[in-house]
């Protein structure tokens, strides 16, 4: 096993990062369409799923990234 590998951040850190990025995009989409109505019908649109699901993804991503920020074994 090489030293490089020992120094790598865990996979969970990267999972967290991608969840944060996607969560932010989903949240932004939700906020944008609060003010700009969608031109096609979506069931349960009043729930504003994009907004709260975006927040869930961001919180999950932050937790994963923060808890796994230190480099260690794969």
Partner 1 sequence: MHTISMTVFDWAILMVYLGFVVWVGFFLKKFTKTDDDYFLAGRRNSAFVAGIAFMSANMGALEVVGYAGQGAEYGLFAMHFYLIGAIPAILFLGIFMMPFYYSGRIKSTPGYLKERYDEKTRVLNAVSFSIMTVLSSGISLYALALVLKTFLGWNWDLSIWLSAGFVALYITLSGLLSAIFTEVIQFFLIWGGILLLPILGIVDLGGPTKAFENLPHVYTSLWSITSSASDNPMKLGWPALIFGLGFGISFGYWTTDFLIIQRAFSAKDVRSARMAPIISSYFKILLGFVVVGSGMVGLALMRNPHSGFELLHTGGKINYDSVIPLLMMRYFPPGLIGVGVTALVAMFMAGQAGNMSAFNTVWTYDIYHAVINKKTSQAHLIWVGRVATVAGILLSIIGAYWAKSMPTIIDYLQAIASWILAPAVAVILLGMLIKWISPDGAFWGMLIGTLVSFAMFMALQLGWITPGAIAPGGEASAMAANFWRALWAWLISSGIAVGVSFFTEKRPEAELVGLVRGLSKKMESSDVPLHKKPIFWASITLIIFVVLNIVLW
Cα–Cα distance between 9 and 67 in angstroms, integer?
11
Residues within the interface to partner 1 (CB under 8 A) = 1-2, 4-5, 8, 11, 14-15, 18-19, 21-22, 25-30, 32-33, 38, 40, 42-45, 47-50, 53-54, 57, 73-74
Which has the closest alpha carbon to 52: 16, 23, 20, 32? Answer: 23
Phi, psi of 37 (to 5 degrees): -55, 145
| Nearest distance, CB of residue 8 and partner 1, angstroms | 7
Nearer to partner 1, 2 or 70 (CB): 2
């Amino acid at each position: 096993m090489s030293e490089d590998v020992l120094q790598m951040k865990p996979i969970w850190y990267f999972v967290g990062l991608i969840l944060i990025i996607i969560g932010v995009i989903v949240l932004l989409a939700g906020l944008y369409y609060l003010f700009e109505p969608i031109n096609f019908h979506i069931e349960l649109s009043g729930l504003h799923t994009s907004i709260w699901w975006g927040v869930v993804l961001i919180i999950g991503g932050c937790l994963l990234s923060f808890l796994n920020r230190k480099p260690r074994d794969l």
